[in-house]
């Protein structure tokens, strides 16, 4: 069997990529790595090809341009499922997700709950007891906490870290998730995927991790991206609440008509 696949999306991550791939291969030698590059102008894609040339467990998926994190991951999920990889891991290229913690996340995926059910999705969480963030400015800490809390309330998500991107999916869970309904391509993608996972009955657990701010390269985060994500979560939340009420009202009306005819 192909075994675990660690997906690393990249855009201008030439400085970080060799080290993060080496750390993944050292931490989980049985795992393969898929670098998904959005035609990085700094040559990250060509560098990834060189890594793949010397290590057959490293693969590269070249995309035509910068189409967003969500599009990169959705393409990678299709690639992984077509080739039988299980589980599938999301990992940032900038070193913020420590590969050395991946064995704990993989172990959690195999740990059954009281009912004997193994989780479909494990989230590396910054905001559960034992989780932490290193070298983040206070405003980034506040923004992440508030964003997760807002998403949790609006969408009724049973997790503390709704925006975290260090995740491990069981392949069967990905198949059940209806990925074609996940349309977000930017920062809100993580929340969108989690929301669909919960709606489709996937079992989700959180494992504490240490999140480390990148040392090399530039963050892709901007206030525009954040505002877009907040707007998306707000729209989803209102749709969930008022759409459900409309469905309930329509069902009640239908039932009343049925009884009046009886």
- Global pTM? 0.85
Q: What percent of the chain has pLDDT over 70?
A: 85
For residue 63, the domain's CATH number is 3.90.550.10
Please report, to the nearest 10 degrees, the dihedral formed by the alpha carbons of residues 231, 233, 72, 193 taken in order.
Answer: -170
Count: domains in the chain? 1
* Residue 93: count of CB within 10 angstroms of its CB: 26
Burial status of residue 247 (CB atoms within 10 A of its CB: 0-12, 13-18, 19 or more):
exposed
DSSP tag of 212: E
- Residues with Cβ within 8 Å of 160's Cβ and at least 6 positions away in sequence, in order, are 125, 127, 128, 148, 152, 206
Report the range of poorest mean pLDDT among 32-36, 128-132, 147-151, 253-257.
253-257
pLDDT tens digits for range 201-257: 999 999 999 999 877 656 555 555 666 667 777 877 777 766 654 444 344 334 444
Partners of 211 in the beta sheet?
97, 133
- Residues with Cβ within 8 Å of 124's Cβ and at least 6 positions away in sequence, in order, are 97, 101, 105, 161, 164, 166, 167, 206, 207, 208, 209, 211
pLDDT tens digits for range 159-204: 999 999 999 999 999 999 888 888 887 778 999 999 999 999 999 9
d(CA 43, CA 51): 13
134-161 mean pLDDT: 87
Residue 176 structural domain: 5-261
pLDDT tens digits for range 37-74: 999 999 999 999 999 999 999 999 999 888 889 999 99
Residue 121: pLDDT over 90? yes
d(CA 173, CA 168): 10
């Amino acid at each position: 069997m192909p075994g675990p696949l660690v997906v690393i999306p990249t855009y201008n991550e030439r400085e970080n990529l060799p080290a993060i791939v080496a750390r993944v291969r050292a931490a989980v030698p049985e795992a393969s790595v898929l670098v998904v590059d959005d035609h990085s102008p700094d040559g990250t894609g060509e560098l990834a090809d060189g890594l793949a040339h010397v290590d057959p467990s490293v693969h590269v998926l070249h995309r035509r341009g910068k189409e967003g994190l969500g599009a990169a991951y959705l393409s990678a999920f299709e690639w992984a499922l077509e080739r039988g990889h299980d589980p599938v891991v999301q990992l940032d290229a900038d070193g913020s997700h420590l590969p050395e913690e991946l064995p704990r996340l993989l172990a959690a995926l195999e740990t059954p709950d009281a009912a004997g059910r193994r989780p479909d999705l494990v989230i590396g969480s910054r905001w559960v007891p034992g989780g932490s963030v290193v070298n983040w400015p206070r405003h980034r800490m506040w923004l992440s906490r508030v964003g997760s809390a807002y998403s949790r309330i609006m969408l009724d998500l049973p997790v503390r870290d709704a925006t975290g991107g260090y995740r491990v999916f069981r392949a069967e869970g990905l198949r059940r998730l209806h990925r074609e309904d996940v349309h977000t391509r930017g920062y809100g993608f993580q929340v969108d995927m989690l929301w669909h996972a919960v709606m489709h009955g996937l079992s989700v657990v959180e494992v504490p991790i240490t999140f480390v701010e990148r040392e090399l390269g530039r963050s892709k985060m901007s206030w525009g991206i954040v505002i877009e994500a907040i707007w998306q979560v707000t729209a989803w939340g209102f749709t969930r609440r008022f759409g459900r009420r409309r469905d309930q009202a329509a069902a009640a009306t239908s039932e009343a008509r049925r009884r009046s005819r009886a």
